[in-house]
Amino acid sequence: MPKILSREFYARDPSLVAVDLLGSFLVRLLDGVIVKCMVTETEAYYGRQDPASRARKGGDLARRLYGEVGLALVYGIHRQWMFNIVAHESGEGGAVLLRSCQPVIGAGALGVRRVTDYLRIASGPGRLSRALRIDKSFHGLPVYITEHGLRVEEGALLDKTDICVSPRIGVRDELPLRFFIRGNPSVSARRRCTKTLASEGQEGSPLIHRQSVNSSSLPNRN
């Protein structure tokens, strides 16, 4: 039986979690049908020191970003739900945005009829949430148990040459905190791969960008 990623998986630097989520399976129970969608694109976000972080706005989202890891963090932008998973080390804040996934099991439950629909139905964070019917009702629920009809299971390990790195979409900074699977057609935007984890020259698994996301290197906008 596939193994559900544990709570401890998310108790790490957000960029590490974002990379390691690639190739894992987002599993959703829809109308009694199990749908599995391979995660193909993610973005890492940090706490208040990250200029693109929702933590800078305060309120519930900030508390969640600094709270228990492994919980869904769902918020709306342009009438679309953004599905994130809280991930950070102890005493820090952060989350990973799931930007796209590719259905591999149960695509019929998503209303897929054509190959082109199959490849693009969850291409982009809004489409992903819409296809898998993820809304605010999942906010704050753990994704490491089966009770809520939404979980994340481990998948295949990817070679560093197959993991592309780029700046985040729609964010003004140039921090390389977006990760996607090279050549996968479900990736949402800017699919040209100009840099990979392998080209970064880092040893072992995978990249940590804490040195880029700290109070000394980012502008203080408080």
- Model confidence, pTM: 0.88
pLDDT in tens, 20-75: 999 999 999 998 999 999 999 999 999 877 876 776 676 888 889 899 999 999 99
Rounded CA gap, 90 and 79, in Å?
33
Superfamily of domain 7-181: Methylpurine-DNA glycosylase (MPG) (3.10.300.10)
The pair of structure tokens assigned to 119 is 């490849």
134 pLDDT higher than 80: yes
Buried-exposed string 11-37: b where 16+ CB fall within 10 A, e elsewhere: bbbbbbbbbbbbbbbbbbbeeeeebbb
Task: Kindly list the domain boundaries of the chain, sorted by start residue.
Answer: 7-181
Chain CA centroid to CA 164, Å: 14
The full length of the chain comes to 222
Report the pLDDT value the prediction gives residue 213, as an integer from 0 to 100: 52
Residue 100: C-alpha distances to residues 23, 56, 129, 140 (Å) = 11, 25, 9, 21
192 DSSP assignment: -
- 216: pLDDT confidence band, cut at 50, 70 and 90? very low
Contact yes or no for 43/188 (Cβ under 8 A): no
220 pLDDT higher than 70: no
The pair of structure tokens assigned to 181 is 């699977």
Residue 28: C-alpha distances to residues 45, 76, 95, 148 (Å) = 24, 20, 20, 9
Count CA within 13 A, CB hemisphere, residue 209. 29
DSSP H helices, 59-186, are 59-65, 115-120, 125-131
pLDDT in tens, 113-124: 665 677 889 999
The pair of structure tokens assigned to 143 is 């994704």
In angstroms, how far apart are the furthest CA atoms of the chain?
A: 51
Query: What residue type is 194 in one-letter code?
Result: T
DSSP H helices, the chain, are 14-21, 59-65, 115-120, 125-131
